[in-house]
């Protein structure tokens, strides 16, 4: 399952929310620089959570932006925060989104999902070259998931 994590804004301080938002915007910017607008369309909170978690564990140097205007949210200026983990999370975002789209195609024969998957295939291949171990693990998991789904249907 992919795309289910979200924050409980009411439980965050204003500073913590702005920090979280800056990592989210950083991931969006990284997806844009790596994959263009199609990459940004795949943005989700799961990978933002990964960035926050791994940043807390490894404490990499952060690159913080000046205020910028986001095309999707133009009413309010934003800041982004990027570090080495953002690169990794952007790759994993593409990898997991690709497999999620392919799984939706196989399950529901949703042609739109198949088309989007074909649009990001080159980006997927590039991410796979940088992260072969992780991609192999995801592929193995997806094969097992397909086997379990086939078994459950029969």
CA 98, 32, 91, 73 dihedral sign is negative
Q: Where are the alpha helices (DSSP H) in 36-83?
A: 37-40, 45-58
Please say whether the beta carbons of 127 and 94 come within 8 A: yes
Instruction: Please tell me the chain's helix, strand, coil percentages from 3-state DSSP, rounded to the nearest 5.
Output: 70, 5, 25
Q: What is the pLDDT along the chain (154 residues), one digit of tens a residue?
A: 677 888 999 999 999 999 999 999 999 999 999 999 999 999 999 999 999 999 999 999 999 989 999 888 899 999 999 999 999 999 999 999 999 999 999 999 999 999 999 999 999 999 999 999 999 999 999 999 989 988 998 8
Q: Which has the closest alpha carbon to 141: 110, 95, 109, 107?
A: 95
The domain ranges of the chain are 12-153
pTM over 0.85: yes
């Amino acid at each position: 399952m992919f795309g289910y994590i979200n924050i409980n804004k009411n439980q965050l301080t204003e500073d913590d929310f702005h920090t979280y938002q800056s990592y989210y915007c950083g991931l969006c910017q990284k997806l844009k620089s790596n994959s263009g607008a199609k990459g940004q369309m795949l943005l989700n909170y799961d990978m933002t959570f990964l960035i926050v978690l791994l940043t807390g564990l490894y404490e990499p140097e952060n690159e913080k932006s000046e205020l910028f205007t986001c095309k999707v949210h133009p009413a309010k200026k934003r800041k982004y925060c990027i570090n080495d983990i953002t690169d990794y999370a952007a790759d994993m975002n593409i990898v997991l989104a690709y497999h999620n789209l392919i799984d939706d195609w196989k399950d529901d024969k949703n042609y739109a999902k198949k088309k989007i998957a074909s649009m990001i295939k080159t980006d997927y291949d590039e991410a796979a070259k940088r992260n072969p171990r992780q991609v192999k693990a995801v592929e193995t998991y997806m094969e097992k998931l397909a086997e379990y789904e086939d078994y459950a249907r029969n």
